[in-house]
Amino acid sequence: MTSENKAYNKLIEAGVHPSAQRLAIMEFLMENHTHPTVEDVYKGLCPKIPTLSRTTVYNTLRLFSEHQAAQMITIDEHRVCYDGCVEPHVHFYCKKCKRVIDMPEEEAPKLVQNRNIHGNIVDEIQLYYKGICTECAQKEITEHSN
């Protein structure tokens, strides 16, 4: 199956009408597992869709997360980013380089859809780790040994 088809199917399954922009944005998410911000998606797709606007990217990513076709990640205090993978997994945020990294080996809490806790209905779970990533930790050691 081509990546266009995968993106198309995902939108249909999520109940999102597949416009050209939405398809391109979903495809971008599915090909870039780097937790892109709105700006990243915008920049990444501008060459392909020169008329694309930031507003559309904002609207679309929000729509995706509302339809569980993507997850919104608020691990970075400064900006929101998105993940095309909606399977539960842990995210790690490096306070130095500001990257968001997947931690597939860590156990993630499973989401029971519409779980009820004292009347509060939970439909989304996010587990965030924060700290310093390998690369940045390495750099720090090198710098300090000078």
**80 lies in the binding site for a second copy (CB under 8 A):** yes
* Both structure tokens of 28: 């971008």
CA–CA separation, 104 and 25 (whole Å): 24
Residue 38 interacting entry, from a second copy, DNA, none, C-beta within 5 to 8 Å by type: DNA
Give the helix/strand (H/E) hosting 116: strand 115-117
Q: How far is the CB of 134 from a second copy (least distance, A)?
A: 3
User: Annotated binding residue at 81?
Assistant: no
Q: Lay out the site mask for DNA across 75-114 (x = CB under 7 A, - = otherwise).
A: --xxxx----------------------------------
Q: Lay out the site mask for DNA across 23-62 (x = CB under 7 A, - = otherwise).
A: --------------xxx---------x-xxxxxx-xxx-x
Q: Vertex 115, ends 109 and 64: CA angle to 5°?
A: 75
71 touches 82 (CB < 8 A): yes
CA–CA separation, 7 and 31 (whole Å): 10
- The residues in 87-146 that bind a second copy, with binding defined as CB under 8 A, are 92, 94, 101, 103, 105-106, 109, 114, 117-134, 137-138
Q: Please say which residue, 20 or 117, places its beta carbon nearer to DNA.
A: 20
Ramachandran category for residue 90: left, alpha or beta (phi over 0 → left; psi -120 to 50 → alpha): beta
Residue 129 phi, psi (nearest 5): -110, 145
Binding residues: 94, 97, 133, 136
Binding residues for Zn(2+): 94, 97, 133, 136
